[in-house]
Structure formats: C-alpha cells, structure tokens
Chain A
C-alpha cells in the first residue's frame, strides 16, 4: 500500500514522520500500551492516511498554539456520516500539533468486535469508550478524543448539517474527575463528504442499525476540511465528577455553544467547494 502511494508521489514526508515518531517512541518505550496501541503500526496507518489528510481533504489546522504539553479531553463536533472526522483530528494531533500525541479515540462497543477494523483502530490508539478506560488513560497523561454527540452527530440529514446535536455529559464528568481541561474542536468541511443525505431512521430501527444514511454518493467527496482547536476550557474549581446535574448541564451547554460558534466562524472562512453553497 505504502509503495503504491509512493509511486503516485503521495508518500508521507519522511522527515516529519521521523521527527514525530522519534518523540512518540520515547513516550511509549515499549512500543505498545495495555490498550493495544502499537506505535509502529500507528506510524504505518498514518503514512497511509497522510495522502487523504494532506492531498484529498487538504486539511488545515488552526489554533495549534492552544495545545500545551498536557493531557486534554479533546471534544470535536461529529460530522460526515462515517467517522472520518475522528481520523483527521487524530492525524492533526499526531502530525501537526506540538508536542505530537496519539489521541485515544473512544469507540463504541460494536467497533471492538469488527475483525481487522477493530484491531487496526486499537493499534492506532482507539479504545473502548468506557469510563474506567478513560479515567486510567487520563491518569497516565494521555489525551482522549470523545465525540459527545455520538451517532446522533455523525448521522445527520442534510437539513441538520453543522448543527451540533445535544452533548452527552459523561466526557465532562470524567474531565472534572481527572482535573483535565476540555479542548473544544470544530471540524468544518466534513459534512460535504456526503452532501445529500437522508437518514432513514425508521428503517435503521427496523434493521437494528445505529444509522442508515441514504446518500447520492457512498465514497466521500474531496471537500476541504478545516480543523479549529479552541482555547482549553478549564473546569472551574468546585466542580467535580459528582457535581449536581444542573451545574454539569450548564458547563456542557457552554462547551457546546463554544463549538457551535467555532463552526459558524469556520463556515464563514471556508475554502470553495462545489457542494458548499447549499449549506451556508
């Protein structure tokens, strides 16, 4: 696969990868971690993802200066029908942010049962979205990637594009428990991977599927993607994992609004793409 990419001039920049993975190899001296991350395999995956990230989706990353050398709960909006946005955000944090880090993406239970895909994701840093996993990883200084909108965010019909769906609260309680800042992230451009989508919810329920998008295309279009990293949202003193619901709800709503605002600003500054106009 990698040699094929090389033939098309789509190979990953060796110097950049060497530099990043020299750092990551020091960070994970055993090459693996108990959740199944494998640094060598992660590099290979990123080398394959790079042409998609750099040449196909032409990702731009803004707000890199907001990221410091500390663990974060990274919370982006979720868009694009399939979790390509997660892959792009993870790539950005590994290759375009200092210091580089492998985000530990929280995945659904069914994902871990998928042959090859579950293994590939785990070797690239993904972990089962479980409270205990999250707590342990944050305690070890790892940054978590969580999508509080879940499937509701990713599986939207065209009419709901770029409208954040209500956030679940678990990520905030876990951040509060670990005393880790929340890093709001907005992904703009991913909705246009599949610009004309209707979510057949009744049919999805009938087949017991998490979502059933009916789309004009089933391969993602090369919509340019912008990733905006916001300022860290610090958990106010006095707020903990066991704080009352109304306090937690208020905080989560604040984060949701911040991300919505970042999306709106991002939409105003996006690059031209033929499918854009419909949704601006």
Chain B
C-alpha cells in the first residue's frame, strides 16, 4: 500500500466544497511537504494560504485539465466533486448531473490511469442503496444499489458509483482505488441537503414515519479521508458511525420548530413547492420515510473505532452552535 513518503503531489477535485477545504487544511497541517492542487469550476470561498497549496478555477472536463495531470504528476487524486442534489430543483439539472458525475468521473479515472497516479479516492454516497421499506439495518457494501429503482433522478448517483467500482477492480493491479460511501455528512461548512434540512426552521417533518439516520461530522469525514490515504487498501467502504438517530429526535435535538406533515401530503407538496426556506428534491423524500443504515465494519478493519471522534449528538451540537 502507498505511504505518505510516496506522495508528493495531490489533486483535490471539487476544492470549493466544505469537505475539500477541511481535508486540504488537515492534509497540509499533517504533511506540509505535500503539494496540493485544488480545482473547481466554482470560486473557492475560503482559500487556504500556504505555499504548497494552489487553487485553479477550471472544469474537469476541459483539455487544460489533462495538461494539469501531465505537468503536476499527481500521486494522489481525491475526487470530492460529485455534484450533489442540494441545489437541484425538483427534477431539473439531471442532465447536468449525469454529465458531471458519470462522464466527468470517467474522464478523471482515465487520466489517473494514463498519468500513473498511485491512488485515487472517490467520494460516493450512502444514497446509492436507496431508501426502501425492505432495507435491512446495517447494509453492507455488497448489497444491491437500488436508489434508482423508484426514482430515475438518482441514476447519476448509482451509475457513478458503479462506474468507479468496476473501474477499480479492473485496474486494481495498476492503481489503488477507494470508493467511499459515507452516511449523511453534516457540519457548518457542508452545504448539503441534510445539513440544510437540520438547520432550517419550520422544515416539514414526517408525521407518520420516523426513519433512522447516521450522521458523520465533517471533521471526522475529512480525517477519515486522510486516514484512507495510507491505511486503507483498494476497495469499497461504507463510512458511518455505529449509532443512529431518528429524524424526529435529530430535529428535536436541534431545537428548531418543525411542521409535522403526513408523507402523502409531503410528496404532493414537494412537487409543487420549492421555497427558499426548504429546498428538498421530491425524489429524496423517501429518505425521510425509510431508513438506510449502513454497516461500517469494513472501514473499521483498517482505521479502527477512534476515527469517529464525534458522536451523532456531538455532531448535531456542533451544527447547532453555528
């Protein structure tokens, strides 16, 4: 397995995201000798000022992206650029997401192989398993990916994951590849659907269902990404704490008022309403109905228990402080 002594140049794709920002700062703190290149088509909100960190505003499907690989000779690529559904209107942007998440990822992986990158870590999501009524609790990595069974809008999530895992096994003798499927990452710097849901006052709360959730704090997730570089071999890994909390308890803990609404009404309302107060794509509503709890035994074999420093309540507490 690759060690930090072999890593001189790192590419972080999706550097404008909150998780990428924390990961970059942790990485440079622990390994100041490593050169980090962060790219994102979006402006970087809080660039880290360090001589070994460089930010470039670019799309990773353009020709100059390949030039970057040629010139920088990356040893490690962190692909944190999966386009989330947080900013999607109910059904919009699907084409854009498929392009970024599937075609874009394929291009990144091919470049990694062509330019002899030693390790690539891809951030997928627990959403790939889908929120279905017959989900067992503690879904393992070999469980079928059923997210798009009911909602074709989730095709990009599943296809990206499958593309990465197929590619990973096909090229395992040439490049170390990790596909991570984290539970809901929450934290003040993460602007995903779940963080937004937990911090929005008067958000609807299912009155007739109360699914369980696993939350991981953004700092823990960033630390695990760093741990994965030197400690975790090629493979697929769920990332989640042992515990879980019901959505109702989580909302109560956050101390924000909620509006209890039966799911049947919520489905109808979400199709029509998209307000600045509550943006939640209707095809993700099943995640507020049925649990999707993932098993973490595989990752713990390599990084142990101590990687999860914050309990779910502590993670929520930290989110509340913001």
Tell me the A residues contacting B by CB distance below 8 Å. Answer: 30-36, 38, 109, 112-113, 115-116, 118-119, 122-123, 127-128, 130-133, 136
Contact = CB atoms under 8 A, between A and B. Distances in A.
B209 A118 contact: yes
A118 B244 CA distance: 18
Contacts of B246: 32, 36, 38
Nearest to A110: B133
Interface string B286-318: 000011010000000000000000000000000
B136 A32 contact: no
Contact of B137 (A31, A123, A127): A127
A80 B210 CA distance: 29
Q: Is the interface of A mostly helix, strand, loop or mixed?
A: mixed
B136 A133 contact: yes
Contact of A119 (B134, B135, B210): B210
B136 A132 contact: yes
A123 B243 contact: no
Contacts of A122: 210
Interface of B: 133-138, 207-212, 214, 243-246, 249, 262-264, 290-291, 293
Contacts of B134: 109, 112, 128, 130
A136 B138 CA distance: 8
A34 to B, nearest CB: 4
Give me the 4 closest cross-chain CB pairs, A-B, nearest first.
Answer: A115-B208, A132-B136, A34-B244, A112-B133
Contacts of B136: 128, 130-133, 136
Contacts of B137: 34-35, 127-128, 132-133, 136
Contacts, number: 64
B262 A30 contact: no
Given A115-B263, A132-B138, A109 B133 contact: yes
Contacts of B244: 32-34
Contacts of A119: 208-210
Contacts of A109: 133-134
A133 B208 CA distance: 22
Contact of A32 (B138, B207, B249): B249
| Residue of B208, B210, B249 most packed against chain A (CB within 10 A) | B210
Nearest to B290: A112
Nearest to B244: A34
Contacts of B214: 34
Given A109-B133, A119-B209, A30 B243 contact: yes
Contacts of A30: 243, 245
Contacts of A130: 134, 136
B155 to A, nearest CB: 24
B208 to A, nearest CB: 4
Contact of A36 (B138, B243, B291): B291
B212 A34 contact: yes
Contacts of B293: 34
Nearest to A114: B208
Contacts of A113: 133
A180 B263 CA distance: 39
Contacts of A136: 136-138
A123 B209 CA distance: 10
A35 B136 CA distance: 9
B187 to A, nearest CB: 21
A35 to B, nearest CB: 5
Nearest to B209: A119
Nearest to B210: A119
Given A127-B137, A128-B133, A136-B137, 12 more contacts: A32-B212, A32-B246, A34-B137, A35-B137, A35-B212, A36-B211, A38-B246, A112-B133, A115-B263, A118-B209, A128-B136, A133-B136
Contacts of A35: 137, 212
A127 B134 CA distance: 10
18 contacts: A34-B137, A34-B243, A36-B211, A36-B212, A113-B133, A115-B209, A115-B264, A119-B209, A122-B210, A123-B210, A127-B137, A128-B133, A128-B137, A131-B136, A132-B138, A133-B137, A136-B137, A136-B138
A34 B138 contact: yes
A12 B290 CA distance: 32
B245 A32 contact: yes
B6 to A, nearest CB: 39
A30 B214 CA distance: 14
A115 B210 CA distance: 10
Contacts of B208: 115-116, 119
B240 to A, nearest CB: 10
A123 B138 CA distance: 17
A102 to B, nearest CB: 15
Nearest to A134: B136
A116 B136 CA distance: 20
Nearest to B139: A132
Nearest to B213: A34
| Residue of A34, A36, A113 most packed against chain B (CB within 10 A) | A34
